[in-house]
Amino acid sequence: MFFLLDAFFATSFLLNQGLEKTLVQGEIITIGNELTSGMTLDVNAWYAAGRLTASGLRVTRITSVGDDYPSVSRALKSAMEASRFVIVTGGLGSTEDDLTNEIVSKALNRPLCLDKEMFAIIKRHASMQGTEVCSSLEKMAWVPDGSRMLSPEGRACGFSLVENEVRLYFLPGVPEQMRYLIDHVVIPELRKLYKKLPVTICRTLKVYGLNEPHIAEIFRDLEKKTGKAVLGFYPHFPENHITVSLTAGDAREAVQELDRIEKQIRNKLGTALFATGNDSMAEVVGKLLVAKQLTVSVAESCTGGLIGHLLTAVPGSSRYFLGGIVSYSNEAKMELLGVRAGTLEAKGAVSNETVQEMAEGIRNRLHSDLGIAVSGIAGPEGGSKEKPVGTVHVALASAEGTVSRKYRFWGNRQAVKLNSATMALDWMRRYANGDPLLPGI
Amino acid sequence: MFFLLDAFFATSFLLNQGLEKTLVQGEIITIGNELTSGMTLDVNAWYAAGRLTASGLRVTRITSVGDDYPSVSRALKSAMEASRFVIVTGGLGSTEDDLTNEIVSKALNRPLCLDKEMFAIIKRHASMQGTEVCSSLEKMAWVPDGSRMLSPEGRACGFSLVENEVRLYFLPGVPEQMRYLIDHVVIPELRKLYKKLPVTICRTLKVYGLNEPHIAEIFRDLEKKTGKAVLGFYPHFPENHITVSLTAGDAREAVQELDRIEKQIRNKLGTALFATGNDSMAEVVGKLLVAKQLTVSVAESCTGGLIGHLLTAVPGSSRYFLGGIVSYSNEAKMELLGVRAGTLEAKGAVSNETVQEMAEGIRNRLHSDLGIAVSGIAGPEGGSKEKPVGTVHVALASAEGTVSRKYRFWGNRQAVKLNSATMALDWMRRYANGDPLLPGI
């Protein structure tokens, strides 16, 4: 109930809660006044929790506290009560409010000692940046007695301790470094330590062009057929992402079962499924165009350059993307794309006729296999009764001729632009795949 | 140290920790297996913490736990120990894993009672959505004895309790509803309750073109002159944002003092300061172009359309943005922009000569006041010893002639594209303002 979905950070609905009670349990503590004051969004806890869960470990609590002794000490002691491992991030830097080392030293009654290996890394980094090693930098190398340095390839620094059989990891708050240590040290160590950990494998299926009620219906159909797998639904406007995760005794077993389930879901999703895994729509399009040896060019009006930007976000896109024209004004449409004045007068800039001439114009000028054009009203102004905000025409010109469709997209300016650009990319994908284009209104 | 900054979510350093120990303290608890498993990023805690802090209240801890009795009950009891208020979000919905009401009832020993007002709202919502009121929906209206309904204008539903003088708020996990209740119920109530709460006002100053060590130096210079104000530094690649916040007895006092401090910071930042408040670089550029009655067009190579996309993200940008050309291939540069084959052969696509011809070409074709062009190597491939990845040329053509500069940007493909596009926008801003253009390498 109440599915008012935020564009990016939506609630999720899960089927078949599959978390095993027997998993190895741990907690995450993130330290920083910027977290408790709401200045910074806690992406570190989110990342660590996701990675640990996917590795078959269970996070029972995430605690964020400010950089002060009573708060950190209390959080640390409380987390150690019921955990096999505790991940602590933040407060390892060189500024005055980075107090984690001192607090841990005091809370666990372990004096601070200079770690020579860490000090050497700090000196090397400082000299690379042309900075002197002042006392505040040296401070970072003083760690609680009994600590073990974590610095794989010198790329990030943290330390680890074992206290009352609880494994404590202290990681920097800089997201890039924290993530590196989680992936390259913490998870491999914990998995080695708890060899009998079940394996959780998660796959993401990306969908464009199916709305939420439609997907909810597919979920209901699947409910009985997915066994122990957990299905997740994550709107990622304008796409929808479906996750399928499964916990099993070993990886092969999990993969086999996931393959079986994925096949069922694929059947339901049809051509709306555009990627499995991490590939973006633009990456999928790029791979297809390379495989089919097709080149594209784009003529953009309301998207303002976004289609070109998305296409060129992919390394190597110059192999298939020849260029584009952003024809924001009518003059640009005529001057640069050869759209006829008569068409603009009789049908308007937002019409099938204009967008078809735009697509043909860019294709002819750049001699590409495909010419894609988009023209529409992104809003908030410029709408009318006949052509309300969100009215967008898409056209595709190829050797076989030119087709176009009219769409009606919802949301603000940004949403209309993004949906229009994604639709243009989806047309490229469907053309290259030989799939039918998405119908319009 | 180790300032490897994530593009959006960076760590921060704060000067003059100005948080008053005397502030009214509270905690936030967010409930949901999707949080502890890392499936969903906890934007609710972040939002609530930010709004409470800005209202002069202090959040000492944020705890996320799964939807089970032991975890929620433990978090609730622990939070009540040292707080005047506790905000709990999540677990109020209709699905089986929404257990907050039951858990609170059991933990605080208050039997569940049917709240008629809430039930009426649920029935109204259900009928609007064409759903029947099944038992799972009715469940939402059974709240712990002594609860007070929170449902301003029926837009969202939560409840509140007072237990041992601690004020407890239970809010839904749907971000839109949670935010609505925080802003319209929780904060007004708490501010009324603690009338003598100080006021905290925060301003953001946005900077482009000054690096972090430079800003750190400015911070050190300011340290003695900013009184009780708290300075914050938030890298927001490729921009840097500086916040100045001040807590004072009343708003007028805070505003006066902030005005004084802002003036000092402005003097230090010079023309690198491009906005105060929420305006993006593209919005600042748009306002300036409208004020100066200037039109622009863009010729993009490595940015691939991003400059046009950023410009057209601003409503009404058609008043000053005429259009652009994405000349990703050499053919497009010649065909669409009139760049001479000889220039491309002799100097290459990434050169001052080519980028100048691109800027002049787009300006001539679209008859705009300004023509801006960018050509560079975004990577990861295409670099050489003479022209490494990150080498980018920017040019501006106007009635006064054409200028260009060579830059060397760092980071991955996305970072180089974004920095290049921002530099192009910054050139428009500086030209319109009569400020000197940023020097290159």
Gap between the Cα atoms of A101 and A139, Å rounded? 9
| pLDDT for B317 beyond 60 | yes
pLDDT (tens digit, 9 = 90+) per residue, A250-294? 778 888 999 999 999 999 999 999 999 889 999 999 999 999 999
Cβ distance of A298 and B326 shorter than 8 Å: yes
Q: Which residues of A touch B97 (CB under 8 A)?
A: 14, 17
Residue B73, judged by CB atoms within 10 A of its CB (0-12, 13-18, 19+), counts as middle
Q: Considering the entire predicted model, what is its pTM?
A: 0.78
Distances (CA, A) of B38 to A104, A352, A438: 26, 45, 34
Cβ distance of B4 and A322 shorter than 8 Å: no
Gap between the Cα atoms of B103 and B109, Å rounded? 10
B240: its two tokens: 């840097």
So what's the ipTM on this one? 0.77
Higher pLDDT, A6 or B123: B123
Q: CATH topology of B22-193 equal to that of B281-433?
A: no
Mean local confidence (pLDDT), A354-359 = 98
Q: Mean pLDDT over all residues of chain B?
A: 88
CATH class in words for B199-276: alpha beta
The answer to whether residue A19 neighbours chain B at the CB level (below 8 Å) is yes
Name the CATH architecture for the domain at B22-193: 3-Layer(aba) Sandwich (3.40)
DSSP B184: I
Gap between the Cα atoms of A353 and A335, Å rounded? 17
Instruction: List the alpha helices (DSSP H) in A234-297.
Output: 251-269, 281-291
Distance from CA of B400 to the nearest CA of A (A): 23
DSSP string, B147-167: -EEE-GGGS--EEEEEETTEE
pLDDT (tens digit, 9 = 90+) per residue, B107-127? 999 999 999 888 888 788 777
Q: Can you give the pLDDT at residue A12?
A: 33
Q: Which residue of A has its CA nearest to B157?
A: A2
- Of A191-195, B64-68, B164-168, B220-224, give the lowest mean pLDDT range: B220-224
- Is domain A25-193 in CATH 3.40.980.10, yes or no? yes
> What count of residues does chain A have?
441
The answer to whether residue A48 neighbours chain B at the CB level (below 8 Å) is yes
The amino acid at residue A311 is L
Q: Which residues of A touch B63 (CB under 8 A)?
A: 61-64
Interface of B with A in 408-437 (CB under 8 A): 413-414, 417
Residues A393, A352 contacting (CB under 8 angstroms): yes
Residues 6+ apart with CB under 8 A from B272: B207, B208, B209, B210
Angle between helices A330-337 and A352-366 (to 10 degrees): 40
CATH class in words for A281-433: alpha beta
Gap between the Cα atoms of A20 and A198, Å rounded? 9
Gap between the Cα atoms of B319 and A64, Å rounded? 47
- Of A22-36, B285-299, B371-385, give the lowest mean pLDDT range: A22-36
Per-domain residue ranges of chain A: 25-193, 199-276, 281-433
Backbone angles phi, psi at A289, to 5 degrees: -65, -40
| pLDDT for B197 beyond 90 | no
The amino acid at residue A351 is S
